[in-house]
Amino acid sequence: DMKVTQMPRYLIKRMGENVLLECGQDMSHETMYWYRQDPGLGLQLIYISYDVDSNSEGDIPKGYRVSRKKREHFSLILDSAKTNQTSVYFCASSPDWAYEQYFGPGTRLTVL
Amino acid sequence: GDQVEQSPSALSLHEGTGSALRCNFTTTMRAVQWFQQNSRGSLINLFYLASGTKENGRLKSTFNSKESYSTLHIRDAQLEDSGTYFCAAPRSNAKLTFGKGTKLSVKS
């Protein structure tokens, strides 16, 4: 069964703390994505990874960085989290950037 | 401006009835993907179409790339169909442009 997993599912952090969100996929997909979803703004793309160590900024990369050292794992890092980074974060993967994307269940991050 | 426009923004159906959701594109799109976001917040893949029509159970989707639109038809709506339906289209730079969604409420 094709699957994208995200850990943790819920996270509460204080402003200034570091945050690590993890994403995994078992489909050997080349391309992976990080999005955030906020009410009224829909889904916004943070970063794309085309393969291991081949990452590209999305529409809202400021305040985030990513790491992809293995094809099946893609991490989103917030160094010194801010309250406006409170959101639901989704990871997705696709066999190629031109094809169907598969989404993980999301991580609800609250920054106090 | 927005490249993907969804309508209606909200829709209420009684169980057993049906309707169509629409997605209009302001530029030529290569494909369309439809998702349902359920009450738990999960994004469920419904369809991916590069052309033509696909059907899955009570759902059917068409994509007309020439006329720049896609539709999602729901028939015999059930309570579990409630949620927000998004269409999205891939841009040439590998980014997926999402519509703002249609919030569907199915009532008994």
Q: What is the pLDDT of residues B35-56, one digit of tens each?
A: 999 988 889 999 999 999 999 9
Closest listed residue to residue B48, CA positions, set B9, B87, B18, B20:
B87
Residue-level pLDDT, tens digit, chain A, 112 residues: 679 999 999 999 999 999 999 999 999 999 999 999 998 778 899 999 999 999 999 999 999 999 999 999 999 999 999 999 999 999 999 987 667 899 999 999 999 9
Q: Reduce the secondary structure of chain A to three states and give it as a string.
A: CCCEEEECCEEEECCCCCEEEEEEECCCCCEEEEEEEECCCEEEEEEEEEECCEEEECCCCCCCEEEEEECCEEEEEECCCCHHHCEEEEEEEECCCCCCCEECCCEEEEEC
The contacts of residue A58 (CB under 8 Å, 6+ apart) are: A33, A34, A35, A44, A45, A46, A47, A48, B95
Of B30, B95, B99, the CB nearest to A58: B95
Closest CA to A46 of A98, A107, A2, A95: A107
Query: Are A43 and B95 a contacting pair at CB < 8 A?
Result: no
User: Any chain A CB within 8 A of the CB of B100?
Assistant: yes
- pLDDT for B54 equals 97
| A33: closest chain B residue by CA | B95
Tell me how close the Cα of B39 comes to any Cα of chain A, in angstroms: 12
Q: pLDDT band for position B1 (50/70/90)?
A: low
A31 reaches B (C-beta below 8 A)? yes
Q: Which of A97, A98, A102 sits opposite B45 (nearest CB)?
A: A102
**Chain A within 8 Å of B10 (Cβ-Cβ)?**
no
Contacts for A50-57 with beta carbons within 8 Å, 24 or more apart? Answer: A50/A97, A50/B94, A56/B94
**B107/A contact by beta carbon, under 8 A:** no
Note whether B90 contacts A102, CB cutoff 8 Å.
Answer: no
CA pair distance A100, A53, nearest whole angstrom: 22
**Which residues lie below 8 Å from residue A14, measured CB to CB, with a gap of 6+?**
A81, A111, A112
Q: Is B83 in the A-facing interface, judged by CB distances under 8 Å?
A: no
Any CB–CB contact under 8 A between B58 and chain A?
A: no
- Chain A residue numbers with beta carbons less than 8 Å from the beta carbon of B39 are none
